[in-house]
C-alpha cells in the first residue's frame, strides 16, 4: 500500500524552546482515516498545522512531510498555497475562524472552488450547490445566499466542510471539528463528514480528545504524549487492547459507559506515572 501522506522524523520547536513534537512518523494511505488522540499539549494540533504549512514564522520544522510524493517541508508559501485547498484542506473547531462574516456562504465555497478549479462563475455555482446538498442542506440555494451569522453553529460547520471538500482533496485534516457543538448537532455533523469523506474518497487525519467520536470515524489511531507517538494501531486494537500504559489509561478514563455510576473513575495515573 503506497502512502498518500508520509511523515518522517518530524520535529517542531518554537523559537529557542524545547521541541513540542519529536521524531514523529505517520503514514496515511489513500482513503484511510487516522485518528490522533492525546491530551492538550501533546502536539496533535501543531502536527496538523505543520502538515498544512500553517505554523507561525518562529516555528522550526525538521524532517519530511510528503503528500503524494511532494515534499512540503521547505516548500515556498506560494507553492504551498496551491497545495492547500486543492490537494489538502483543514476543518477547525470553530467554524467562524474559517468563515468570512462579510461574505455569503455560497460565495465562500465558490471562492475555494474557483481559486483551484474553474474560474467560470456559473459552473462554480453548480458545484457549490451540489456540495452544499452533499453536506445535508436540502435548501442549498437559501444556505448559499445566507451570511454566516444567519446560520447556526452546526450549519456553519457543514458549510466549512463543503469548503474543505469542494475540490475533492486527497487529504482532509479535522481538528476537533465538533467539540464546540451541541451533542445532537455533533451527531449530524459527524454523519455528514463520514458521508462526504466516503463520497470523495479523501483520506482524513482526525484530531479529537473525544475517543468515542474517533472510534466512530476512524479505522486507525495514534496516541500522542509529549510530542511523541506512544501507540499506533487499528482503532479496534487501540480502544480494546491498548499496549502502552498511557494509552491504556487514556482509554480507561474515557469509558464512562463501562462503569457503575457513582464509582471512582479510573485515571491515567492508575496505569502510568506521567511526568
Partner 1 sequence: MTALFEVHGLTRVYTTGRRSVVALEDVSLTVEPGQRLGIVGESGSGKSTLVRLMAGLDRPTSGTVHFGGRPVSGVPERQLGFLRASVQFVFQDPRSSLNPRMRVGDVVAEPLRSPLVRRELGALDQRRRVAEVLDAVGLPADAASRYPHEFSGGQRQRIAIARALAPSPQVLIADEAVSALDVSVRAHVLNLLMALVDDLGLTLLFVSHDLAVVRHVCPDAVVLQGGRIVERGPTQRLFTAPEHPYTARLVAAIPTFRARS
To partner 1, the closest distance from the beta carbon of 96 in angstroms equals 15
Q: Which helix (H) or strand (E) holds 115?
A: helix 105-116
Q: Which helix (H) or strand (E) holds 96?
A: none
User: How do the residues of the chain divide into helix, strand and coil, expressed in percent and rounded to 5?
Assistant: 40, 25, 35
Query: Of 121 and 265, which CB lies nearer to partner 1 in the complex structure?
Result: 265
Q: What is each CA distance from 173 to 22, 68, 148, 258, in whole angstroms?
A: 20, 15, 22, 30
To partner 1, the closest distance from the beta carbon of 257 in angstroms equals 7
Name the residue among 119, 64, 96 with its Cα closest to residue 181: 96
Query: Of 163 and 225, which CB lies nearer to partner 1 in the complex structure?
Result: 225
Query: Of 106 and 231, which CB lies nearer to partner 1 in the complex structure?
Result: 231
Query: Of 95 and 249, which CB lies nearer to partner 1 in the complex structure?
Result: 249
Query: Of 129 and 250, which CB lies nearer to partner 1 in the complex structure?
Result: 250
To partner 1, the closest distance from the beta carbon of 183 in angstroms equals 5
Query: Of 97 and 184, which CB lies nearer to partner 1 in the complex structure?
Result: 184
Question: Phi, psi (5° rounding) for residue 55?
Answer: -75, 150
To partner 1, the closest distance from the beta carbon of 226 in angstroms equals 13
To partner 1, the closest distance from the beta carbon of 153 in angstroms equals 8
Q: Could you tell me the three cell numbers for 36?
A: 490522533
- The side-by-side arrangement of strands in the sheet containing 70-71 is 21-29, 3-14, 59-67, 70-71
Name the residue among 143, 87, 94 with its Cα closest to residue 115: 87
Read off the DSSP letter of residue 1.
Answer: -
Contact residues toward partner 1 (CB under 8 A) are 39-40, 182-187, 190, 209-213, 215-219, 234-236, 239-240, 249-250, 253-257, 259, 261-262, 264-269
To partner 1, the closest distance from the beta carbon of 270 in angstroms equals 9
Amino acid at each position: 500500500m503506497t502512502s498518500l501522506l508520509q511523515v518522517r522524523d518530524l520535529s517542531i520547536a518554537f523559537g529557542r524552546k524545547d521541541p513540542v513534537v519529536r521524531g514523529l512518523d505517520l503514514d496515511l494511505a489513500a482513503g484511510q482515516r487516522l485518528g490522533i488522540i492525546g491530551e492538550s499539549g501533546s502536539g496533535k494540533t501543531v502536527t496538523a498545522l505543520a502538515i498544512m504549512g500553517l505554523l507561525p514564522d518562529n516555528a522550526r520544522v525538521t524532517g519530511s512531510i510528503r503528500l503524494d510524493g511532494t515534499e512540503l517541508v521547505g516548500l515556498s508559501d506560494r507553492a504551498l498555497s496551491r497545495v492547500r485547498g486543492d490537494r489538502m484542506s483543514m476543518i477547525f473547531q470553530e467554524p467562524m475562524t474559517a468563515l468570512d462574516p462579510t461574505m455569503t456562504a455560497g460565495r465562500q465555497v465558490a471562492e475555494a472552488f474557483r481559486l483551484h478549479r474553474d474560474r467560470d462563475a456559473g459552473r462554480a455555482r453548480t458545484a457549490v450547490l451540489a456540495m452544499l446538498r452533499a453536506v445535508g442542506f436540502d435548501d442549498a440555494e437559501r444556505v448559499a445566499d445566507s451570511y454566516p451569522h444567519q446560520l447556526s453553529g452546526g450549519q456553519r460547520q457543514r458549510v466549512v466542510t463543503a469548503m474543505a471538500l469542494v475540490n475533492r482533496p486527497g487529504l482532509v485534516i479535522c481538528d476537533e471539528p465538533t467539540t464546540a457543538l451541541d451533542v445532537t448537532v455533533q451527531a449530524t455533523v459527524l454523519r455528514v463528514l463520514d458521508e462526504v469523506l466516503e463520497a470523495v474518497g479523501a483520506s482524513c487525519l482526525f484530531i479529537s480528545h473525544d475517543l468515542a467520536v474517533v472510534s466512530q470515524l476512524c479505522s486507525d489511531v495514534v496516541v500522542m504524549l509529549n510530542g511523541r507517538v506512544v501507540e499506533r494501531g487499528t482503532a479496534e486494537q487501540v480502544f480494546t487492547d491498548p499496549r502502552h500504559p498511557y494509552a491504556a489509561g487514556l482509554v480507561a478514563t474515557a469509558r464512562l459507559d463501562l462503569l457503575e455510576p457513582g464509582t471512582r473513575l479510573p485515571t491515567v495515573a492508575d496505569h502510568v506515572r506521567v511526568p
